[in-house]
Structure 1
Amino acid sequence: MVIFCTNFGVVKIKLNTEKAPKTSINFLQYCQDGFYNGTIFHRVINGFMIQGGSLTYRMEEKEPRASIKNEANNGLSNKTGTLAMARTLDPHSASSQFFINVNDNTFLDFKSESMDGWGYCVFAEIAEGMDIVNNIKSVQTAKWGYVHQHVPVEKVLIDNVTIEE
C-alpha cells in the first residue's frame, strides 16, 4: 500500500503487481526514492482525471528516470478510482507521471499493439481516500504559461509518500 499525504488529505493506493509488475515496480521505486515528495497534481480536469508525478509547487520539472515499456495490455481498465501512467504520443514513454481516473475513461484502454491502440497502463487503484480525490477534482484551474493548462489555482501538494506493507 502506498500512502500519499497531501494538503487535501490522505490517499491510500493499492498496486496491482500481478497485472502490471514493471509499472508497479517503477512507481514504487519513485515512492521509495522520495521523488514524489513535494510534487503537485499539476493537471486537474473534473470529469476526466487528476495528474501528477513530476512538477514541484513552483512548476519546475523534476528529472525522471528512463521510460518503461507500456503494460496496458494487462486487462485492467481506466475506470473511476484507478491509477494509470501518463505518457507522450510514444506508447512506451511513461516514466514518473501518473493520473487518477475520476471517471470511467475506457477510451484510454488498450486496444492493439499499434501507435493508436496501446492505451494507458492501469497499475493501481485507490484503496482509501476517494473522497479526497473527489475534492481535488473539483478545484478551480487556470492556464500556467504557454504549456500548462488545467493547473489548480490552489496548489494540490503531495507532502510525502510512505509505503505500508
Structure 2
Amino acid sequence: MPNVRIETNKGSFEIALDEQRAPKSVANFLAYVDAQQYDGTIFHRVIPNFMAQGGGFDGAYSKRSTNSPVQNEADNGLKNRRGTVAMARTSDPHSATSQFFVNVADNDFLDHRSKSPEGWGYTVFGTVVSGMETIDAIVAERTGSGGPFAKDAPLQQVVIHSARRL
C-alpha cells in the first residue's frame, strides 16, 4: 500500500492507501498528490465527533480546479471508522473529486448500504497510520463562518503545506 504524508500548520499525519479495495479512489487521490494540488489548501469543514474535511479550497476560500469525478467505491467493504480517510462528494454518489475527509468517530451512517442515491455511502480509501493526534487537534479548533461556509470552518485556518508520497 502506498503511503502519503500530509504536513499542516497543526502537525503532520500519514495515510496508508488501500489500492486493492479502492483502486479508483487511490489513483484519483495520488493524482492530486503528485500534482501538488493539495499544497496550500485548507481543512474548510471540521466537526468534533464527526470528521475533518479538506482538499478543495485555498486560504482565500477559492475553489481549486479538479479532475473528472471518480466512480464511487463505497461498496468495497471498508467502513467509515475513526481514523479512516474517505472521499467527500455531493448528493450525487459518483461526484467525488479532490476533497477528502478523516473520520474522527465511527460514522456507520456514511457506510454503503445499497446502490441507490440514498444508500451508496462514502468511499473509504485509506487509514491514518500515524499522526491521529494532529487530526484530533484540527477538529478541536474553534469554528464559525469562513468564506462561503456559514459554520464549521476553523476560525484559525488549518493549512495543508504539503502532501507527498512516502
List aligned pairs for 1:1-165, cutoff 5 A.
1-145=3-147, 147-164=149-166
Query: Post-superposition shift, 1:162?
Result: 1.3
**Do the aligned partners of residues 25 and 115 (structure 1) sit closer, same or farther apart at CA in structure 2, a change above 3 Å counting?**
same
Q: TM-score, normalised by structure 2?
A: 0.96
| RMSD of Structure 2 on Structure 1 (CA) | 0.9
**Do the aligned partners of residues 37 and 80 (structure 1) sit closer, same or farther apart at CA in structure 2, a change above 3 Å counting?**
same
SS, match of residue 27 in structure 1: helix
Unaligned 5+ segments in structure 2 are none
Number of matched pairs = 164
The percent identity for this pair of structures is 45
Unaligned 5+ segments in structure 1 are none
Query: Post-superposition shift, 1:145?
Result: 4.8
SS, match of residue 30 in structure 1: helix
Please list every run of at least 4 consecutive aligned residues from structure 1 whose deviation after the TM superposition is greater than 2 angstroms: 144-149
